[in-house]
Amino acid sequence: MSRNPDSGLQRLILDTARKLLFTEGYARLSMRKIAQRIGYSATSIYLHYGNKDELVHALIDEGVDLLHEELCAAYDGSQEPIEQLSEMFLAYINFGLTRPEYYEIMYVLHPEYMTRYPAEKYRKARRNLEMIASAISSGVKSGQFETHDPMLCANLAWTQLHGVVTLLNSERVDKRIPSETLIAASGSHIIRSLLKNQTQVEV
Amino acid sequence: MSRNPDSGLQRLILDTARKLLFTEGYARLSMRKIAQRIGYSATSIYLHYGNKDELVHALIDEGVDLLHEELCAAYDGSQEPIEQLSEMFLAYINFGLTRPEYYEIMYVLHPEYMTRYPAEKYRKARRNLEMIASAISSGVKSGQFETHDPMLCANLAWTQLHGVVTLLNSERVDKRIPSETLIAASGSHIIRSLLKNQTQVEV
DNA sequence: CTATTAACTTAACAGTGTTAACCCCTTCGG
DNA sequence: CCGAAGGGGTTAACACTGTTAAGTTAATAG
């Protein structure tokens, strides 16, 4: 039940869980499989993680940090709000598409199935939205963007990005629409809606 | 294995499955529970549905029809493209929020968990997108909308709506943002991006 | 040397989807 | 009228799942 990933075995469990999550997907991730793969009995895992959800929460933590890092890199890559935003949008979608397993446990799985992901950690995930809102704010200050509620706009952007990621990952988007087209369009679409004048944005 | 819902029991199974889906959610929907509730053995279900996925597919069919009906009603409620669209957007989000279980099996569940929902039925689900695209097209013809690819725009709208529905349903949106605000903003946001001039749209 | 404790195991419970084998009853052919 | 066929249903079983209780083993502390 100790939450720091020391003790050797804890690390091993987490690493194996992550590997299994990636190769087999969440649906086929089981305590027994993890245990078997590291040569321990299934119940040993319960000495380090109270239950499966706690283990998955640890994986979510990893994913949250990873996404945050990549968004930060995108944000820090420029001073220009528009560039910052479009880079962050691309980073977000890229994360979702290249790490669908992380994305699934972070943003798709019904919380009802899972014991609640601790509220304090949700705050950590919220940093990302605040970063988007901050870029929007500076765009408003510099006079490029219309003055709207930045946090509402950030959430609007997020829902758009989330929709793109999940519908692409679940292969529900008509294949006649290339994903690159949809991704580019969604990014420029969000930014265009923020702009003051009718300037077209290429992404 | 007969696919027409006659034979009495088939109806009964489907009705009970739907009820259980609504009260307990997909995660807790089990063949044995359905059977128990109607006083049959679990294996009887397999005389009418090849497996659990086939049963869920039947439920998806219901959901697809229901959503389509509500979108049609919204579409038929007006001749004005903007009104048609905003009514359809509201109808879509409303369906997703009031029937989260239908929405989940239709648009959220990983197809990987489930044997593929038959391709021909996906076409049925695609009617909805075509209806949105059609409204956009007539808006373009009437000169209200910028000339973009209507099908791409319809998909862009869909991803936005889907994002709103799923993030609201999974309670991942910060409660400080009222869902009504987000819903209204997403609708007007989509429509604004279609417009030729900077006209603000109230929704 | 004994007592405690940490690390780990096996056995078991209650649940899941699914298959195989069987049973009973109706219907139909000869 | 009797036997075969078959539909509609059953029970038992397999191979899984997460999780708990109880037991074992080894190291460490007093």
Q: What confidence tens digit (pLDDT) does each residue in B65-96 have? A: 999 999 999 999 999 999 999 999 999 999 99
Share of chain B above pLDDT 90, in %: 80
Q: Which domain holds residue A115?
A: 59-194
pLDDT, greater one: B160 or B195: B160
Residues B169 and B79 occupy one common structural domain: yes
Q: What are phi and psi of A145, to 5 degrees?
A: -105, 150
CA distance B59 to A97: 29
- Contact between A155 and B163 using a beta-carbon 8 Å cutoff: no
Domain presence at residue B201: no
Best of A155, A200, A203 to substitute, by most chain B Cβ atoms within 10 angstroms, is: A155
Residue B48 burial (CB count, 10 A): 20
* Same domain? A36 vs A77: no
In this structure, what CATH number is given to the domain that contains residue A126? 1.10.357.10
Of how many residues is chain B composed?
203
On whether residue A201 sits in a domain, the answer given is no
Strand C contact with A41 (CB < 7 A): yes
In angstroms, rounded to a whole number, what is the distance separating the alpha carbons of residues A152 and A149? 5
| A20 and A108 inside one domain | no
Integer CA distances (angstroms), B40 to A23, A130, A159, in order: 39, 54, 44
Q: Is residue B104 part of a domain?
A: yes
Measure CB to CB from residue A159 to each of B104, B109, B186 and give the nearest one: B186
Show which of residues 47-66 on chain A sit within 8 Å of chain B, judged by CB atoms: none
Which of A101, A110, A177 to probe the B interface (max B CBs under 10 A)? A110
Give the integer Cα–Cα distance in Å for A48 and A5. 9
Per DSSP, B104 falls in state I
- A136 contacts A130 by C-beta, under 8 angstroms: no
3-state secondary structure (DSSP) of residue B6 = coil
Above 50 in pLDDT, residue B196? yes
Q: Are residues A73 and A32 in the same domain?
A: no
Nucleotide nearest to B115 (CA to C1'): C17
Question: Phi and psi for A195 in degrees, rounded to 5?
Answer: -65, 155
Q: Do B180 and B134 have their domain in common?
A: yes
The stretch B177-182 carries a mean pLDDT of 98
d(CA B168, CA B172): 6
Please check whether residues B30 and B74 belong to one and the same domain.
no
Residue B200 located in a structural domain? no
Residue B198: which residues within 8 A CB-CB, separation 6 or more?
Answer: A197, A198
CB B168 within 8 A of CB B178: no
Q: Which nucleotide is nearest to A41 (CA to C1')?
A: C9
Measuring CA to CA, which residue among A52, A54, A67 is closest to residue A100? A67
- Do A177 and A132 lie in one domain? The reply is yes
Asked if B175 is an interface residue toward chain A (Cβ–Cβ < 8 A), one would say no
Q: Kindly report the backbone phi and psi dihedral angles of residue B118, in degrees, each rounded to the nearest multiple of 5, phi listed first.
A: -50, 140
Confirm whether B130 is domain-assigned. yes
3-state SS, one letter per residue, for chain A: CCCCCCCCHHHHHHHHHHHHHHHHCHHHCCHHHHHHHHCCCHHHHHHHCCCHHHHHHHHHHHHHHHHHHHHHHHHHCCCCHHHHHHHHHHHHHHHHHHCHHHHHHHHHCCCCCCCCCCHHHHHHHHHHHHHHHHHHHHHHHCCCECCCCHHHHHHHHHHHHHHHHHHHHCCCCCCCCCHHHHHHHHHHHHHHHHECCCCCCCC
What dihedral angle (degrees, nearest 10) is formed by the CA atoms of B184, B188, B191, B193? -130
| B46 and B132 together in one domain | no
Residue B50 is given by DSSP the state: S
Residues A162 and A117 grouped into a single domain: yes
**Can you give the pLDDT at residue A197?**
63
pLDDT of residue B4 exceeding 50, the answer is: no
- What sign for the dihedral angle of Cα B179, A64, A89, B84? negative
Where residue B123 falls among pLDDT bands split at 50, 70, 90?
confident
Report the number of distinct structural domains present in chain B.
Answer: 2
pLDDT exceeds 80 at position A151: yes
Q: Quick one: what percent of chain A has pLDDT higher than 90? A: 80
* Domain assignment present for A14: yes
Q: Please report, to the nearest 10 degrees, the dihedral formed by the alpha carbons of residues A123, A126, A127, A133 taken in order.
A: -140
Q: Is A156 on the interface with B (CB under 8 A)?
A: yes
* CB-based contact, B163 to chain A, within 8 Å: yes
Domain contains B75? yes
More confident residue, B39 or A119: B39
Backbone angles phi, psi at B50, to 5 degrees: -55, -40
CB contact under 8 A, B189 and A126: no
- Give me Rg for the CA atoms of chain B: 19
Task: Identify the pLDDT of residue B202.
Answer: 41
- The whole-angstrom distance between residue A32's C-alpha and the CA centroid of its chain comes to 27
**Which bases of strand C sit closer than 7 A to a protein CB?**
7-11, 15-21
Judge if B22 and B62 occupy the same domain.
no
The mean pLDDT of B27-33, rounded to a whole number, is 96
Instruction: List chain D nucleotides near protein: any atom < 7 Å from a Cβ.
Output: 8-12, 16-22
B154 in the same domain as B107: yes
Residue A113, domain member (yes or no): yes
CATH for A10: 1.10.10.60
Do B89 and B153 share a structural domain?
yes
| Closest to B106 measured CA to CA, from B119, B117, B92 | B117
pLDDT score of B148: 87
